[in-house]
Structure formats: C-alpha cells, structure tokens
Amino acid sequence: MHLEILLESPVHTADIGIKLSRILKAGDILLLSGELGGGKTTFVSGLARGLKLKEDVSSPSFTIINEYINGKLRLIHIDLYRLEGEAEFENAGIDRYISKKSGIVCIEWGEKLEKFIDKDYLKIDFKYCPDKGIDKRIIMINWKSTYWDRKIKRFRKIIRKKEGLL
Amino acid sequence: MKKRTMTDRDIYILGIETSCDDTCASVIANGTNILSNVVSSQNEIHKKYGGVVPEVASRRHIEMIDIVIMEALSIAGKHIEEIDAVSVTNRPGLIGSLLVGVGAAKSICYSKSLPLIAVNHLEAHLYSNMIENPLIEGGLLGLIVSGGHSSLYLVDREWNITEVGHTVDDAAGEAFDKIARYLGLGYPGGPVIDRLAESGSEDLIEFPRPMMESGDFNFSFSGLKTSLIYRTKKHRELMDKGSIPDLVAGFQKAVVDVLTHKTIAAARKYGMERVFVSGGVAANSRLREEFLRLGSENNIRIYIPPAGLCMDNAAMVGCLGYHRLKRGLTDDFEIDVYSRSDL
C-alpha cells in the first residue's frame, strides 16, 4: 500500500514531518530513503518539532546515531550513509535500537537495512523533481501491515484534504 | 642536587579517544609535549593489524585498543608505571565505541591506581590549540568544524564553555564528504576537494551563502549541498572532469565564507580578540588562509592547530586531561558514556 505527496518546499517537508509525528508511538520504525539533499533530515527535524523537542535536529551522517530524549517521545535518529552490510549495522548497535522500542526510530538510508530487518516499518522515499523546481520533492510512503494501514488512515485525516496528495 | 617536587616534575598523561571511527591513543607531557599520537587508520597500525581497517565498525575498537595503547606507550618510550593519569573521551559519540575507550581507561586506572579523567570530545577539540600554546588564558571564541559538528563557543576566563551557534542541519565536513561522494571523488571528501579546488576558479560557479545574514550564529550547509546537486542535475556538463575543479572550488568558497564571516562576526560581537579554530575541517587550506587574512584585517588573533591535530586524535584528549588534572577535576569509576552532550 502506498501514498504519494508532492512537497512544495523544505518548510512543507518539515510540516509533513510534524503531522506524521501525531500518529507515531514508541517502537515505530521509519525507513527513509532517497538521494542526497532529498529532504530526509528536514523531514526528521519536522518530526522532532512535532514531538516538542527543544533542540535542533542535525544530520547524524557522521555520528551515525543521535538520540533526543527531551521530547514527548524519545527520538532515535540513525543514518546508515557511511555503513554497509549487516555486520557494520550490528557493530554500530542499530539492532539494539530497533528491538528496544524505547522511542521512535528514524533511519536515513533505511533501504540498506530493508533486507535485514524483521520488524514492521513505514518506508518513506524522497525524490527530486528537476522539472518542477529546486525546492520540490515527491515522497512515496509505503507500508505492508494493517497496523500502518490504520495509522496512515489517521494521517490522511490530519493532512489537509488533498494537500499535495498525488 | 635539589629534590624535585610534584609540581616541577613532568606530568605524563595517557589520552584515549574512541568516540568515532578511529581508535586513538597518545602520551603527552605537561599538556604540551606530544611524545606519541597514534591513530588506528595510520599505515603502521594497518600493518600491525594485518589488513585494511573498515571505515566504520565500533566493535573494531575492541580489536584495536590494546595495539594502539601499547604503540602509543612504546613510541613515547614510557612504561605504564610512568604515566600519571589517564584521560578518555566519554561523550559525545557512538555508545559502543565510547565504551571501549572508557573501559580500557578504567581498567588501567583501576589496576595501576591512577586518576581517571573523563572528557568531552568537543572540549578536547578546543584544547587542541592549547598543545602549542599551553599558557594561553581563557576569554576567547572557539569554532569546532568537523564531519559531525559545526559550532561556535564562548570560552570565558575560567574556561567555562557556552555554545553560541551550531549547524541546524549538516556539519561542514559532512557537506564536503557528501558532495565528494556524489561527484565520485571518494571518502573522506575534505582533502580531495581541497586539492581539486586549488586548480579551479572559485568565482566561476556561484553558490548561495546560507545563513550568512541570519543575525544569529547558526550555520546551515544542507541547502548548499542541495544547490550543487540540483545544479548538476540541470546542467550535466558540470559533472565533466574539466568542470569539477571549478564546481568544488565555488562550493568550498561558499562554505569557507560562511564559516569565517560568522566566526569573525561572533568574535566582534562578544568582544573576543582571540579565536580557536579546530576540528577536521580546520585542516582545509582555503579555510586556514581565509581565517588568517580576516583575522589580521580585524585585529583578531586566529589559532589553528597543525592539520594532524585538527582530525580526531588522543593528544588533545591528553592535553585537556592535563589541564583538568591541574584543576583537580578527576572522575570516579562510576562515570558513564553519553551519545550526545553539548558543551
């Protein structure tokens, strides 16, 4: 099952993050994929704002895992950009964060983890649209379970009617 | 012969740093004289380890830590019995990686009854400038610019540190790395962009100067990265081998301009006449050049450590450990590790 949304600007990308945060709970896993500059970190910073985190969310590409504990829910922001293969994911402790259910786990470059993960997740793919303009992105949200089915139904109600829906 | 007292004999600190990719150990005397500074990615260690070490793998620190510490002691010509204290990074960083360094430091201190000093990686970066200037007094502005951080700090006379600005998205070093990888130039991106930009013209391809006039001291480099990627998508010819030097030179100039201008502006606002620049990106030759030029123009003294001390290293951890020891700031064995800890 999937949902596509046209994002007009980075502000819109962050706003969709804020709105999605309202349907999330501890243990939810989001796998974010898409090119460099696609808006993954911008989306997570929106999510963080939705969770009322006071800190700015910066990219964890170098630090690999950033944990934010001061929001309504704990946010674990992971970036697999520099990691390859199951051994490296395990070495970095990614598996622990996925099974702990201590917070919302957002994983950038999450497509790398897809074939190793045995948990339910929501997949969000970010795409450039060079013909539409530098700020425009399309996101494709994919899921497989009835759990996410129910959640996305609520999400659809939260985003303004037909807002960017493709 | 006059009997030497504790205060005038040399103090040797073993520094240990495992917060990110490299396993590092160093022996430093009196916080200023580096006797050894071993980094696991160095060739000699590769040979001892018997192969190429993967780019990121935190459990790899476990395999490397003994080799690296022994190598640091051996190069320094010091026996563990001659060490006065162990200083180790315990925040911020990958938990699994930090635990290895902190575990090693605790074991050494416990078995040899040595003082243990746990330090903040970012504070240690600031202190990398103290190695060559051990007597410098507090009251300055610090810029840490690396793959994971791009932040400005006020350091008061008592060496208390307050953040006055940070990146709201990507760190400067991360922007370099990502652009280099995107353009197929390899990892890490900083050195290769630095080298290629030398043969390019930095004014040919204009890039935005994000947050230059934002009125605060925060940085943003994500939009700059997007701007480059978007441009190459529209104009494929920019990816040609002949255009890459101009492309990266323009990009580098934008990063350098924002970092230098905002740092100088912050120094002026807070009335600081001295600036400590540190972190991996401080090894960038264009950034160093521009900082020195703007510094002399504004009567602000710029301190930048030699390139080897800009990268993650344990000498800076030992240096900070020395200064904390002198102030009587040691830690007990209860200390933990923390993934995030802003100064």
Q: What is the pLDDT of residues B143-154, one digit of tens each?
A: 999 988 999 999
**pLDDT of A102 higher than 60:** yes
- Is the overall model pTM greater than 0.80, yes or no? yes
Chain B residues near residue A81 by CB distance under 8 angstroms: 178
% of chain A with per-residue pLDDT over 70 = 97
Minimal CA separation from B198 to chain A, in Å? 25
Per-residue pLDDT, B1: 43
Residue type, B274: R
Per-residue pLDDT, B2: 45
**Strand-pair category, B140-145 with B116-120:** unpaired
Per-residue pLDDT, B3: 47
CATH number of the structural domain B138-304? 3.30.420.40
Per-residue pLDDT, A87: 81
Domain annotation covers residue A165 = no
**pLDDT of B51 higher than 60:** no
**pLDDT of B290 higher than 90:** yes
* Measured CA angle at B39 (ends A89, B9), to 5 deg: 135
Q: Does A99 lie at the interface with B, CB-CB under 8 angstroms?
A: no
The pLDDT confidence band at residue A162, using thresholds 50, 70 and 90, is low
Do residues A150 and A131 touch, judged by C-beta distance below 8 A? Answer: no
> Peptide bond before B210: cis, by omega within 30 degrees of 0?
no
Minimal CA separation from A98 to chain B, in Å? 15
% of chain B with per-residue pLDDT over 90 = 79
pLDDT digits (tens, 9 = 90+) for B243-268: 999 999 999 999 999 999 999 999 99
The pLDDT confidence band at residue B342, using thresholds 50, 70 and 90, is low
Q: What is the mean pLDDT of chain B?
A: 92
First-to-final CA distance of chain A: 14
Burial code of B295-312, b = ≥16 C-beta within 10 A, e = fewer?
beeeebbbbbbeeebbbb
Mutation target for A interface from B20, B94, B174: give the one with most A CBs within 10 A.
B174
**Look-up of token digits 């090894």:** B283
Domain annotation covers residue A166 = no
**pLDDT of A90 higher than 90:** no
Domain boundaries, chain B: 12-128+311-326, 138-304
Chain A residues near residue B170 by CB distance under 8 angstroms: 41, 58-59, 61
Four-point Cα dihedral B281, B282, B285, B288, nearest 10: 140
**pLDDT of B186 higher than 90:** no
Q: What is the CATH number of the domain that holds A101?
A: 3.40.50.300
> Rounded distance, CA B223 to CA B228, Å?
9
Sheet holding B274-278, edge to edge: B161-166, B150-155, B140-145, B274-278, B301-303
H or E element, residue B43: helix B43-49
Question: Mean pLDDT over residues B317-335, rounded?
Answer: 97
The total number of structural domains that make up chain A: 1
ipTM over 0.85: no
> Rounded distance, CA B167 to CA B153, Å?
12
CATH number of the structural domain B12-128+311-326? 3.30.420.40
Domain coverage including residue A123? 2-160
C-alpha B115: how far from its chain's center? 25
